[in-house]
A and B are shown apart, each in its own frame.
Chain A
Amino acid sequence: MKKYFITVYNIVEKDLLLELKSKEVVVSMLLFSLLVVIVFSFIFEPGAEYKNDLVGGILWMAFIFSGVLGLNKSMLNETTGGNLNALLLAPVDRSAVFFGKVVSNFFFLAVMEAITIPIFMIFYNINIFGHSVLSAVVILMGTYGFSVLGTLFSLISVKTKTREVMLPLLLLPLIIPIILAGIQCLNIYIKNGDITESYKWLKLIGVFDVIFTAVIFAIFDYIVEE
């Protein structure tokens, strides 16, 4: 088990080093997410009350669409030059390679979100953590689920010629539970609703995360072999 985590660590360390050198993944995601946040901020009249019903969805949309962009770029590093094949040839559990990529992608997404959220709160004049820190929990849980499925489908789609289209086509329908639950939770927290109402949505994201982690762990070998 120790070797498994060392492999995950080595993959993450390499990805961080690559990102420090190229800055391709986080910067492109960040620019796109800020663009979404800023452009959509113009649809609200100043002081509009209905804004609170919609901002949760806008924030998730910024995360998801910029995340798709980042996942493609992150996986391109592995397929350019055949690096993924080299990793699959290595004497390590192949799912450790996968979860290394998941952790890297989760970290890149979290960095993008950590910068996007304060700017989002300024532009929409709203504090998403004002009534509950559970906002952070739901964002992190949703981001993990997105990373797991996103990494898997970016692995599949990056080998196709139409990867920019293929990844969202494969990924977005499957992460609807996360998007739906994430938006519902944020709406409850932003509007200072009954927090207990959000628990069922949190559970949904939690179950989603656990199921997809377990399934991919079990079948990853078969997925990557042609």
Chain B
Amino acid sequence: MTSKLIKLDEITKKYGYLEALKKVSFYLERGEFLAIFGPNGAGKSTLLKILSSQTRPTSGNIYFDGVKLADLPSDFRGNFGVISHQPFLYENLSAEANLRFYGKIYGLKDISKKIDDILKKVELFERKTDYVRTFSRGMLQRLSIARSLLHDPDIILLDEPYTGLDQHASYILSNILKEQFENSKTIIMVTHNLNRGYDLASKIAIMKKGEIVFFDDKVNVPEYEFEDIYLAKVS
């Protein structure tokens, strides 16, 4: 039996006269991996912001497990792990101090062990006492991944997570995402990278000018046709 974990019902978001999202509707079941593609300004990041309750939709509703997002308590946000363009890290604190702070904010128990485990996973354990300001872009992004997964969220939202990553960091991120997907985490990833997005996802969406113009299971979209479909939809 499957359940609709996330359901968007005609989500519209306006910034003044600009409609960033136009009646976006879809649903995801638990354990699905949705990759959202689209050109710049398509509304992908706005959609993630609304899903993570960073901003409210102008109209429409979002449901998690059948409950309106607006009716859920603040504790519910603990189900989200968000990886963004920004690292969400304090430059003047060490990697460990950053993770410890977020661990406390999320009310985690046994924080030290969790920090060590996640830092080993992103291959930054040796740098755990170093200031974040000394980290390269790739290391920052890996630490950002560690921060977002420290509390073992059920729903992972990623906004262009591969931007600025070197091959090694990209490889680590892909492996982590595959592992999370295998562990039945629900993942929504916004990306411009068609190949990586297609490889990882179980569902594919294409957005253009605030609308979902394509939404299907990956099994229905042959890899060799995907780029053509994408270009046809966004052009």
Q: Which residues of A contact B (CB under 8 A)?
A: 3, 6-7, 10, 14, 17-18, 21-22, 77, 80-83, 85-94, 225-226
Contact = CB atoms under 8 A, between A and B. Distances in A.
Contacts of B56: 225
B63 to A, nearest CB: 19
B86 A85 contact: yes
Contacts of B77: 89-91
Interface string B20-62: 0000000000000000000000000000010011111000000
A86 B147 contact: yes
A83 B147 CA distance: 11
A18 B90 contact: yes
Contacts of B97: 17
Contacts of A80: 91
Given A21-B93, A81-B86, A81-B89, A86 B102 contact: yes
A1 B138 CA distance: 39
Contacts of B54: 85, 88-89, 225-226
B82 interface: yes
Given A18-B93, A91-B107, 7 more contacts: A18-B90, A81-B89, A81-B90, A85-B86, A225-B56, A226-B49, A226-B54
Contacts of A77: 90, 92
B165 to A, nearest CB: 17
A94 B53 CA distance: 12
A197 B93 CA distance: 48
A96 to B, nearest CB: 9
B109 interface: no
A196 to B, nearest CB: 45
A86 B52 CA distance: 11
B104 A10 contact: yes
Interface string B54-90: 1110000000000000000011111010101111111
B12 to A, nearest CB: 15
A108 to B, nearest CB: 15
